[in-house]
Amino acid sequence: MDSFSDVIDALGISGASRILGIPESHVRTLKARDSIPAAYFKRIVESAEGQAHGITFEFLHRLLHRTEGAAA
């Protein structure tokens, strides 16, 4: 996984929707923007799917800082 889009792919649209508590349409928007707000990180890391894919806070924060740096 190299992007937030990859994280969403790993969780699946419906899985991410359930984990994040948002509609699938919003998950698709996040995927298209290659963005997941940090407010959702805890839900992802603590989910069974997140754990199964080895998604950690450190990994998500690395992605966040990389995308923030690219936007600057």
- Which amino acid is located at 68 in the chain? E
Q: What are the φ and ψ backbone dihedral angles of 6, each rounded to 5 degrees?
A: -65, -35
Closest CA to 63 of 25, 24, 26, 37: 37
Task: Identify the pLDDT of residue 69.
Answer: 65
Task: Identify the pLDDT of residue 71.
Answer: 58
Measured at the alpha carbon of residue 12, what is the angle toward residues 54 and 55, in degrees to the nearest 5? 15
List, for the chain, all residue ranges whose pLDDT scores fall below the cut of 70.
68-72
Contacts of 29 (CB under 8 A, 6+ apart): none
